[in-house]
Amino acid sequence: MKTADERKTLVQVNFGKLPPDLVIQGGTLVNVNTREIQRADIIIKGQRIAAVEFGETSWTGKCPVIDATGQYLAPGFIDPHIHIESSAITVTEFARTVVPRGITTIAEDPHEIANVLGLEGIKLFIKEAKGVPLNFLLRVPGRIPANAHNIETSGGEITLKQTIDILDWEEAVCLAGDINPNLILSMDPQQFAKIAYTIKMKKTISGQSPCLTGAALNAYIAAGVEDSHVSKDTEEILDIARHGMRPLITHRSMLFGVSDYTKLVKAINDKNLDTRLMSFTTDDVAPNVLYKQGHLDERVRLAIAAGLNPVTAYQLATCNTAEHLRIRRDFGELSPGKFADILILDNLESVKVDKVISHGKLVAEKGKLVSDPIPFIYPQRAMHTMKTKSRPRPVDFQIKVGKTRKWVKARVINPGERDREIFASLPVQGGVVHPDAKKNIASVTVLERHNASGDMANGFVTGYGINSGAVASSVNHDAHNIIALGLSFEDMAMAVDRLVSNGGGYVTVKDGKILAEIKLPIAGLISDLPLKTVAEEFEVFEHILKDKLGWNPHGHPTDDLTFLCLPNIHRITITDKGVFDTSTMKPVNVIIK
């Protein structure tokens, strides 16, 4: 319906000239506009709220009514920064999981699938999302590939012109900022062109400022970037908020942790800080974590448990985010004229969601969607992305030196500590440099899988605790080439071989036996199975990694594998083209002498 006509129907409902389509009666409204909790009825016409009537129920007309007596009414949650791919499930399965938990709108950055499938990956997600009751907004990937072709091979590429085209799409809500902040700080012309165009389009510029302070933080914000989702602690959250940048708050391994909610809330309460610039987000949530703990609802719950005013906590998941994404005309509050995206909750503090209304329709109840989405079939091209030149042999994973040498000094990637590498002596046998479990040093290999070029690079890594066998994955941020990590070249080769024949996912091998595997056939990133199954597969896989291989990194087991190569995070990284120093983007030697 055209804007003017739709608005007119809302007026007509108020004057009794048209019947409402739905009335929610008897509930108690979480009013994010004024930070109050009040009795109110909500009158709905089509996809929007026609009226909010405060006080005791006055509705007497005939139309479908939901009785919310004893329950709370809150705006649907909005997640401003999300990668569905990280949950390893389809958009359909994701909606089935998060909508009943109260997440009615997401801003998805399809960065992972686009690195594999390019523009087609983004279009597939949008197409799939049309079949589910989730408002799917698009974060326009800011830089695909993440690195230049001479540094890394990726499957997809989004040109500057395409980026600008995508920013015009109706779904596009922001320029996504999962990019290396150095691109801004070094004044990459393409990034500034994208920022200028986003400003012209009146859309939001999303970013990340990991540990930036002082001049670097000021420069980054002055460039136009408006949010960051990677703050490590309360101090960083407050620092960026004071500078006018919006902190998107989420807990994760090695950064802001679950216990940090208490510190943050204490700082807010002690100083009566204005929290309007703060929002909750999730970014990457592993499938087993999603299944066990929940999604954005978990952030709200944790903040309230830590002592945050419940209405304030709901603001961080609703109106604050709507303001940030410049969509508050339609989203983020329960007011006349807004989309009727409404949660009916049994309990405010524990975020116990009973029913979910999306755009005026009851879409979820008691933890389930009310109607089953039609399965979305991914095309063949998306299901066959593991393209390698030849079957891997153990010798391909080896670094060779002079046959007479017994030891070499090697540069070892140390992802546990940001900005670090270590140097270690490693044993040489028959000219082959070996990893050393006693020193907690494993071999690591990245192998190109998009163009079957045969490109691959070998190196060493520390901090994983692995003492035998190997693990391989086709999930490997951001280019998602194959990563293999292990103590045995034979097991690494076998794991990669199986991974390719599985069409992607995870494989772990020990002593020539496959111990566990997860198949992710969609782009080598996503399962076609239900979340419950995928979560169980991850639980089993992670358990076996720890139990049988000694796997023991600092954070989430699979995340610590798949984020190892991310040049945004680590100063020393490995790609299919070699080992690089990300501060200079120059290759560095693995063998020092």
Out of 61, 337, 431, 454, name the contact with a second copy by CB under 8 A. 337
- Per-position b or e across 148-163, b if 16+ CB within 10 A of its CB: eeebbbbbbebeeebb
Closest by Cα among 574, 10, 590, 73 to 356: 73
Out of 108, 260, 333, 528, name the contact with a second copy by CB under 8 A. 333
Near a second copy by CB under 8 A, which window of 187-195, 343-351, 368-376, 535-543?
A: 187-195
Both tokens of 276, joined, read: 């309007």
192 binds a second copy (CB under 8 A): yes
Contact 117, 124 (CB under 8 A): yes
Question: Kind and range of the H or E element at 432?
Answer: strand 432-433
342 binds a second copy (CB under 8 A): no
Out of 63, 65, 164, 273, name the contact with a second copy by CB under 8 A. 273
Out of 56, 62, 161, 214, name the contact with a second copy by CB under 8 A. 214
Give the shortest CB-353-to-a second copy separation in angstroms.
22
Nearer to a second copy, 45 or 411 (CB): 45
Give the shortest CB-184-to-a second copy separation in angstroms.
7
Give the shortest CB-103-to-a second copy separation in angstroms.
21
- What phi, psi does 369 have (nearest 5°)? -65, 145
Nearer to a second copy, 2 or 438 (CB): 2
Give the shortest CB-9-to-a second copy separation in angstroms.
9
99 binds a second copy (CB under 8 A): no
Q: Which long-range contacts link 227-230 to residues 24+ away (Cβ below 8 Å)?
A: 227/80, 227/81, 227/177, 227/279, 227/324, 228/177, 229/81, 229/281, 229/283, 230/255
390 binds a second copy (CB under 8 A): no
Both tokens of 531, joined, read: 């979340």
Nearer to a second copy, 223 or 585 (CB): 223
Out of 189, 404, 430, 438, name the contact with a second copy by CB under 8 A. 189
Give the shortest CB-2-to-a second copy separation in angstroms.
7
Out of 39, 243, 418, 498, name the contact with a second copy by CB under 8 A. 243
d(CA 450, CA 150): 15
- The one-letter amino acid code at 266 reads K
Both tokens of 153, joined, read: 């091979």
Both tokens of 220, joined, read: 């980054």
Q: What is the β-pairing status of strands 482-486 and 470-473?
A: antiparallel
Residue 455: how many CA atoms within 13 Å on its side-chain side? 18
Total number of residues binding a second copy (CB under 8 A)?
Answer: 70
- Which string of DSSP letters, residue by residue, matches 215-263? HHHHHHHHTT--EES---SHHHHHHHHHTTPEEEE---TTSS-TTHHHH
- What phi, psi does 362 have (nearest 5°)? -70, 115
- What phi, psi does 205 have (nearest 5°)? -110, 110
Nearer to a second copy, 224 or 503 (CB): 224
CA–chain centroid gap for 205, Å, is 17
Nearer to a second copy, 190 or 259 (CB): 190
Out of 150, 159, 218, 429, name the contact with a second copy by CB under 8 A. 218
Over the window 3 to 22, marking each residue x when it contacts a second copy by CB under 8 A and - when it does not, the resulting string is: xx--xx-xxx-xxx------
Near a second copy by CB under 8 A, which window of 83-91, 97-105, 180-188, 520-528?
A: 180-188
Both tokens of 195, joined, read: 């920022």
Give the shortest CB-454-to-a second copy separation in angstroms.
39
d(CA 175, CA 197): 10
Over the window 288 to 327, marking each residue x when it contacts a second copy by CB under 8 A and - when it does not, the resulting string is: ---------------------------x-------x--x-
Nearer to a second copy, 219 or 258 (CB): 219
Give the shortest CB-212-to-a second copy separation in angstroms.
11
Among positions 16-75, residues that touch a second copy (CB under 8 A) are 16, 31-36, 38, 43, 48-54
Closest by Cα among 367, 374, 388, 339 to 499: 388
583 binds a second copy (CB under 8 A): no
164 binds a second copy (CB under 8 A): no
Near a second copy by CB under 8 A, which window of 109-117, 184-192, 293-301, 531-539?
A: 184-192
Closest by Cα among 347, 344, 314 to 332: 314
Task: For the chain, give the number of residues.
Answer: 593
Residues that bind a second copy (CB under 8 A): 2-4, 7-8, 10-12, 14-16, 31-36, 38, 43, 48-54, 184-185, 187, 189, 192-193, 195-196, 199-200, 202, 214-216, 218-224, 226, 238, 241-245, 271-274, 276-277, 315, 323, 326, 329, 333-338
